Copies of this chain bind each other. A is one copy, B any other.
């Protein structure tokens, strides 16, 4: 059986595959910060060379932002489009990293070996599970079992500004039968998971302006409007004391989870206690009346991602600052419309401004709707079987709290359904200091893709 030989090849080549991943992780391809645009080019070049080394016709494709990597290879089976992203999140606060985020290492931990470094899990490690599965296929059989288009972007962590124009211009070249996306987590350790719904996202940012200049708090403390107090008051007004978002009309388009889906989720192996305790919480803090899992997968949120203003240095400064800043993101579910929601959030802030306060919005931040996958397609059942074989446990259809707008774009621009399968764990600390990816995820991830390719090719 060639599948067994391919799986053995993956087992044998794990050290080499790990070395390749470490090499990719050493490239600090932070997409949101213009200071790192050169490493983003470098990461794209690295991927092009790596794909070419397994016989894939790959090239770097320039955009106004960071480049795309596109590769094509022929094969007998169905035409798959595989998507991943080579860019990573910023690393701040750097002081909380226990090792250099861009000098990745394999570490022994109580939970087994892990690869530690920025992007190990999100998404370089996940992306390479698919590439390495293809390499093993090629090594053992001399070819790939399906026709595959590889499509890697470098702006996923910064809103993908070049993605829609690029896909629109290259729609014919990127057409396929189905898209495979490896950028998601398993619902709990060892439980293979296929994402059936993803939350959407709305990003916004505002600056509150108060006095014309920074003021001395001894002279204007009292009669003077303080933008920091104004900011706190407005941010505090976003939620009521039941944990619900208090923005008028926020929940329009939100649907309750159907009972049968709820029952499936309850049996998915998700353990609320472990999920919360692993990051230092002893209890859930969200919207009352909904389980942690439902809050995470099927309820919308408004979260504050950054607040700042005034003096942050050593010592004290008796200042009333001229301005204060807030970065926020909403997670969207159901039929919530990001454009309508942006108006509601902004109206909420504007209605609460004191006289002499003025708000300024950042108009460069995007939004995307929630996505529900077409799980009736036969590929979902084939993948479920392949994953169950590999992990010796039934694979499950799960929701996802995160937002991966690419699935919506594939549908809207290319008419493609997507299947999201990932091997990350909740404790991978993606977007946080000390990000890691379990060697088990990397190894069994490669084996999982080999099995899925085998099933899809044979169908």
Interface hits, A297-342 → B, CB 8 Å:
299, 301, 303-322, 324-325, 327, 329, 331
The residues of B that contact A93 with a CB separation of less than 8 Å are 214
Most B C-beta atoms less than 10 A away, residue of A89, A295, A315, A321? A315
Q: Contacts A311-B327, A433-B214 given: A223-B285 contact, CB under 8 Å? A: yes
- Could you tell me if B365 and A217 are in contact, using CB atoms closer than 8 angstroms? no
Whether the pair A431, B159 counts as a contact (CB closer than 8 A) is no
A218 interfacial contact with B, CB 8 Å: yes
A286 on interface, CB distance cutoff 8 Å: yes
Q: Please tell me if the beta carbons of B316 and A327 are within 8 angstroms of each other in the complex.
A: yes
Any B CB within 8 A of the CB of A283: yes
Q: In whole Å, how far is A349's beta carbon from the nearest beta carbon of chain B?
A: 13
Q: How far is the CA of A368 from the CA of B199 in the complex (A)?
A: 52
Asked whether A327 lies within 8 Å of B308 as measured between CB atoms, the reply is no
Given contacts A218-B401, A401-B222, contact A316 B329 (CB under 8 A): yes
Q: Give A90 to B311 CA distance when docked, in angstroms.
A: 9
Residues of B within 8 A of A354 (CB): 285
CB-CB under 8 A for A402 and B222, given A316-B205, A365-B316: no
Interface residues of A in 55-93 (CB under 8 A from B): 89-90, 92-93
A426 to B213 Cα, complex, angstroms: 13
Q: How far is the CA of A232 from the CA of B203 in the complex (A)?
A: 19
A254 to chain B, nearest CB (A): 13
Are the C-beta atoms of A211 and B402 separated by less than 8 Å?
no
CA distance A293 to B292 in the complex (A): 52
A403–B221 Cα distance when bound, in Å, is 11
* Distance from A424 Cβ to chain B, minimum over Cβ atoms (Å): 10
A287, CB-defined interface residue at 8 Å? yes
Q: What class of interface size applies to chain A in its complex with B?
A: 35 or more
Contacts of A324 in B (CB 8 A): 307
A361 at the interface (CB under 8 A from B): no
- A4-12, A129-137, A273-281, A409-417: which one contacts chain B? A273-281
The answer, yes or no, to whether A356 is at the interface (CB within 8 Å) is yes
Taking a contact as CB atoms closer than 8 A, the residue among B239, B283, B299, B306 that contacts A317 in the complex is: B306
Give the contacts of A178-192 with B (CB-CB under 8 A).
Answer: 185
Q: How many whole Å from A176's CB to the nearest CB in chain B?
A: 26
CB neighbours of A225 from chain B (8 A): 281, 285
1/0 contact string of A43-59 vs chain B (CB within 8 Å) = 00000000000000000
Q: Are A228 and B307 in contact (CB under 8 A)?
A: yes
Contact of A431 among B211, B292, B317 (CB under 8 A): B317
- The residue in chain B whose Cβ has the minimal distance to the Cβ of A280 is B212
Give bound CA distance, A205 to B280, whole Å. Answer: 23
Taking the complex as formed, is A289 at the interface, i.e. its CB lies under 8 A from any CB of chain B? no
Can you spell out 7 A-B residue pairs with CB atoms less than 8 angstroms apart?
Answer: A214-B429, A219-B402, A223-B284, A229-B303, A236-B237, A281-B356, A308-B312
**Interface residues, chain A, CB within 8 Å of chain B?**
32-34, 89-90, 92-93, 96, 158-159, 185, 199, 201, 203, 205, 210-226, 228-229, 231-233, 235-239, 276, 279-287, 292, 295-296, 299, 301, 303-322, 324-325, 327, 329, 331, 354-356, 365, 400-403, 426, 429-434
